[in-house]
């Protein structure tokens, strides 16, 4: 990473954290979550997905509650990430017979994480096919129009997304969507070679 890219990323992270704190007033977060969920359910990628890898949001992240609830009602496999170490995530399936809060607890970063057993990428691939693929919702501080993603600096999704892409080759469809608020989408972002892009960005227009 060059010093100029590192400095620009640091500046943008600080700027976007400030914007999130300033803009997310009143019921904007809830309205954005409902709008983003409605748009997601209309996508061909959602209809073709047999599984959704979602997340449990931080207080200033786009809320995935409506998406997670509907995914289970639609009979799709819902998975959530869990931190296993620096920059490492594993994937855990959600039991549709139980509430999501009953299956989670505060994790390494104070974010709710699943408690159940993890699913290996091989086992995940066995549940999917080219016709029933995996849709991934990736959180982030900012996204670019070209699919660039600026995370919080831990590298979790920059490592997970390439692993998923490699596992999916010839085995199942894969779509990676940035999930955020409108104002988090910017014309361009500083990117290093190892920064994993998303296929498209989904926002909750308010």
> Top-level CATH class of 3-203?
alpha beta
Give me the helix-helix angle, 65-73 and 28-41, nearest 10°. Answer: 30
Residue ranges of domains in the chain: 3-203
Taking residues 11-34, what's their average pLDDT?
A: 88
Backbone phi, psi, residue 16, to 5°: -70, -35
H/E stretch holding 12: helix 3-23
- Model confidence, pTM: 0.93
- Asked if pLDDT for residue 204 goes beyond 80, the answer is no
pLDDT of residue 205: 66
DSSP, collapsed to helix, strand or coil, labels residue 35 as: helix
- Asked if pLDDT for residue 2 goes beyond 80, the answer is no
Q: How far is CA 173 from CA 118, 131, 169, in A?
A: 21, 7, 8
pLDDT of residue 81: 97
């Amino acid at each position: 990473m060059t010093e100029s890219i590192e400095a620009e990323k640091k500046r943008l992270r600080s700027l976007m954290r400030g914007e999130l704190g300033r803009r997310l007033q009143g019921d904007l977060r809830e309205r954005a979550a409902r709008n983003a969920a409605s748009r997601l359910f209309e996508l061909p990628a959602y209809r073709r997905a047999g599984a959704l890898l979602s997340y449990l949001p931080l207080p200033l992240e786009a809320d995935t509650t409506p998406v997670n609830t509907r995914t289970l009602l639609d009979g799709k496999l819902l998975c959530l990430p869990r931190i296993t170490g620096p920059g490492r995530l594993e994937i855990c399936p959600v039991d549709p017979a139980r509430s999501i809060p009953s299956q989670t607890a505060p994790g390494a970063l104070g974010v709710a994480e699943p408690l159940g057993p993890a699913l290996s990428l091989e086992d995940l691939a066995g549940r999917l096919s080219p016709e029933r693929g995996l849709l991934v919702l990736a959180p982030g501080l900012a996204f670019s129009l070209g699919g660039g993603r600026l995370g919080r600096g831990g590298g979790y999704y920059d490592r997970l997304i390439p692993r998923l892409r490699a596992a999916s080759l010839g085995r199942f469809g894969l779509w990676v969507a940035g999930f955020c608020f409108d104002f988090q989408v910017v014309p361009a972002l500083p990117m290093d070679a190892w920064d994993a892009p998303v296929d498209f960005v989904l926002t909750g227009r308010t």
